[in-house]
Amino acid sequence: MPTLSRLLPTISLAALTLLAGCTDSVETVELSAPRLLIGKPVDNTAPLGGAVKGTMQQGQSFDVNANVIINAGDTLVIQPGVKINFLGNYNFVVKGTLLSLGTQAQPIYFTVKGLAKTDQPGASPATDPAYQGKWGGILGDVTCPLMVIKWTHVEFGGGVVLVSPLSAGIANNKNTNPVYFQNPAGVLVVEDSWLYGSPNDMMTLLGGRIQIMRNTFEKCGKTGGEGISAFSGTTGNVAYNLFVGSATNGVRVSNGGGKNPQANLAVYNNTLVHCGYRRAAAGRGGSIGFEQGARGIFYNNLMVNCKYGPRVVGSGNYLGNVLVIADTANLRYGNSLNYVDSVRIANEIYPTNFLTKPQPTDIPRPGSFLPAGYRLGQVYDGTAVLRQNNPQFVGFPLPAPVQRLSEVATVGTANFRLGSGSAAIGKGTTSFAPLATSPSIPLSATYGATAITPPSRDLGAYPLDNSGNQH
């Protein structure tokens, strides 16, 4: 028999074991505190940088020499005629509210000090400053509840950030976008503004209730990129915009990204001119694209010499492309006018290998040139529609007086209003309403949309009743 003394160590050992096993260890985590930046009232006595709030007074100029941050809960109001000059690759970081309230008479500028546009047709995009991203962007963070941009010029943005000032979305060392929004619950209003030049997408929207109306987009994307690239969480209207020379599409909608609600845009009465020529990859689109679970409508759009007609992505085997079907059950469209000067693009009014359904309201009428028994995405010969259905622009002769269709990337002296005899007049439909977001976008001169312009009888951004694009 063992003595108690022999058993003692065993017992104490077992007791110790049980005792220690019962307690879980807990981490003590000490994280460095974020640098506290209190928003200072903005003034232009010194170059701008850091956290600001308040009002940029009418007509003043501001030089920006560091990231400008509008803290969550703060508001920055920009009054008409203000000029914001970026002295380098800095951003406008909007964690709170931004109200850029220009007027037709006194627009606001976000631009680069001393940089002039060099809009020579045919110039290489490699050297064009429009595509070089001289400053960053107006970057909405996940907390931004409201961003209103009216009668504002946004030029030369989209530069690379070394360290992303946002809590998500844009990665370090990556391109920004001149306008960036990522709050599905927030409101983004861009009205009557001019968006010029970006290395990649002009606007990337990872969620938001949006109202993008009556704007002019030029030189969007260097060798890829769209005017507006919208993803899951984005709902609203894109209408009466003029897109000239986007690298790929004017508007692309995808439900990628895993946010709610489903990407749902009403894209109507836009004019798209010579888009899709700086994207070398085939089949990426050159006007309007709906893909990967996106829903919405597109009506009354006017496409002139775009590399591809509206592109609805369907499932199937298309090499090298992400081919995930759009939410075709919830996609309605029609009344698209395609004017083309080249057979190659005439053959892509209904893009090869995609799912765009020819609609009887489309111009040219599908029955007039598609072969009998046409299957969606089938290769066809579009020679018959060359130079047909001229929109008769007031200040842009067609056939386009250029050597290459890719040369047209800015408005310049052109005028895309419809002349008499235009094939676009009276061909639109008004049988649908603009998309009502949930909750709806407020109508306000200051805190929301000035006007959600309903669809027009005429195609494109410039209906004869002058209710559309005012540029």
Partner 1 sequence: MPAFYRFLLLFALAGLLARTAIAQGRGATATLHGTILDAATGEPVIGATVLLPASQQGTATGLDGTYLLRVAAGPAVVVQVQNLGHETQTQTFSLAEGSRQQADFRLKAAGRALAEVTVAGHLDRESTEAARRTEQRADNVLNILSAHTIELSPDVTAGNVVQRASGVSVVRNSGGDGQYAIIRGMDRRYNYTLVNGVKIPSPDPNNRYVPLDIFPAELLQRLEVVKALTPNMEGDAIGGAMNMVMKSAPDHLVVAATAAGGYSDLFASRSFAGFNTNNLARQSPAERNPAGYQAQAGDFSSQVLDFSAVKVPVNSLFSLTVGNRTRDGRLGLLVAGSLQNTHRGSDRLFYRPLGQPNPGNVFTFDEIQRREYSLLQTRAGLHAKLDYVLNERHKLGLYSLLLRLDDAQARTIRTNDLGTGGDVPIRRQARWQRQQLWAETLQGDHALLPRLHFDWTASYARATFATPDVTEVTSKNATAANTQQGTFVQAATHLWQHSHDQDLTGAANLSFAITPTFDVTVGGLLRQKNRSNYYDYYNLDAATSGVGTSNQQPFTTYGQARFVFNLDNGLEKSTNGNNYAATERIGAGYAQAKILLFDRLQLLGGVRLEATRQHYDSQLPDDQLGRSGTIRYVDALPSLHAKYLLNERQNLRLSYFKGISRPNLFELVPAQNDLNNDYYTQAGNPNLKHTQADNFDLRYEHYGPAHAQLLAGAFYKRLRNPIEYGFSQSSSNLYFYQPTNFGTATNYGVELVFTKYIRHWGLTGNYTYTHSAITTTKRVYYRDAAGNLVTADAGSPTADYPTAPTQARPLQGQSDHIGNLALLYKNETRGLDAQLAVVYTGRRLVAVSPYRDLDQWQRATTQLDFSAEARLPFHLTAFLKVTNLLNTATVVEVMQAPAGDLRTAPGQDRADRILVQRDVYNRSYLLGVRFRLN
Residue list 423-462, contact with partner 1 (CB under 8 A): none
284 Cβ contact list (under 8 Å, min separation 6):
224, 248, 249, 276, 308, 321
Tell me if 4 contacts partner 1 by CB under 8 A. Answer: no
Q: For residues 426 and 464, what is the distance between their CA atoms, to the nearest angstrom? A: 9
Tell me if 384 contacts partner 1 by CB under 8 A. Answer: no
Question: C-alpha 4: how far from its chain's center?
Answer: 82
State the number of binding residues for partner 1 (CB under 8 A).
98
- The residues facing 267 across adjacent strands are 238, 298
Q: Among residue numbers 181 through 220, which ones bind partner 1 (CB under 8 A)?
A: 183, 185, 199-200
Is beta strand 415-418 parallel, antiparallel or unpaired with respect to 393-395? antiparallel
Q: Say if residues 296 and 267 touch (Cβ distance below 8 Å).
A: yes
- For residue 407 the two structure tokens come to 């040369």
Stretch near partner 1 under the rule CB under 8 A, chosen from 20-28, 208-216, 297-305, 417-425: 20-28
Q: Say if residues 228 and 212 touch (Cβ distance below 8 Å).
A: yes
Tell me if 258 contacts partner 1 by CB under 8 A. Answer: yes
Binds partner 1 (CB under 8 A): choice among 81, 107, 125, 136: 125
Choice between 73 and 426, CB closer to partner 1:
73
Q: For residues 87 and 269, what is the distance between their CA atoms, to the nearest angstrom? A: 37
Stretch near partner 1 under the rule CB under 8 A, chosen from 26-34, 411-419, 441-449, 453-461: 26-34
Choice between 26 and 105, CB closer to partner 1:
26
Tell me if 329 contacts partner 1 by CB under 8 A. Answer: yes
Q: For residues 157 and 202, what is the distance between their CA atoms, to the nearest angstrom? A: 8
Q: For residues 131 and 122, what is the distance between their CA atoms, to the nearest angstrom? A: 14
Tell me if 420 contacts partner 1 by CB under 8 A. Answer: no
Tell me if 33 contacts partner 1 by CB under 8 A. Answer: yes
Tell me if 226 contacts partner 1 by CB under 8 A. Answer: no
Cα dihedral angle (442, 443, 448, 452), rounded to 10 degrees?
A: 110
Closest separation between CB of residue 238 and partner 1, Å? 19
Tell me if 389 contacts partner 1 by CB under 8 A. Answer: no
Stretch near partner 1 under the rule CB under 8 A, chosen from 208-216, 279-287, 332-340, 447-455: 279-287
What three-state secondary structure class fits 310?
coil
Tell me if 280 contacts partner 1 by CB under 8 A. Answer: yes
**DSSP code, position 7:** H
Tell me if 278 contacts partner 1 by CB under 8 A. Answer: yes
Stretch near partner 1 under the rule CB under 8 A, chosen from 38-46, 146-154, 368-376, 401-409: 401-409
Closest separation between CB of residue 172 and partner 1, Å? 4
**DSSP code, position 219:** E
- The residues facing 152 across adjacent strands are 108
Stretch near partner 1 under the rule CB under 8 A, chosen from 104-112, 208-216, 273-281, 392-400: 273-281
Q: For residues 260 and 415, what is the distance between their CA atoms, to the nearest angstrom? A: 39
Tell me if 38 contacts partner 1 by CB under 8 A. Answer: no
Closest separation between CB of residue 254 and partner 1, Å? 9
Closest separation between CB of residue 362 and partner 1, Å? 19
Closest separation between CB of residue 317 and partner 1, Å? 4
Closest separation between CB of residue 283 and partner 1, Å? 5
Closest separation between CB of residue 344 and partner 1, Å? 5
Tell me if 130 contacts partner 1 by CB under 8 A. Answer: no
Tell me if 375 contacts partner 1 by CB under 8 A. Answer: no
CA distances from 414 to 20, 126, 286 (A): 81, 24, 20
- For residue 327 the two structure tokens come to 């939410």
Residue 70 main-chain phi, psi, to 5 deg: -105, 110
Tell me if 122 contacts partner 1 by CB under 8 A. Answer: yes
Tell me if 330 contacts partner 1 by CB under 8 A. Answer: yes
Q: Among residue numbers 281 through 300, which ones bind partner 1 (CB under 8 A)?
A: 281-283, 292-293, 295
Is beta strand 160-161 parallel, antiparallel or unpaired with respect to 174-175? antiparallel
Closest separation between CB of residue 444 and partner 1, Å? 23
- For residue 325 the two structure tokens come to 């079907």
Tell me if 310 contacts partner 1 by CB under 8 A. Answer: no
What three-state secondary structure class fits 130?
helix
Is beta strand 75-78 parallel, antiparallel or unpaired with respect to 61-70? unpaired
Q: For residues 298 and 362, what is the distance between their CA atoms, to the nearest angstrom? A: 12
Closest separation between CB of residue 212 and partner 1, Å? 21
Binds partner 1 (CB under 8 A): choice among 40, 332, 387, 404: 404
Tell me if 467 contacts partner 1 by CB under 8 A. Answer: no
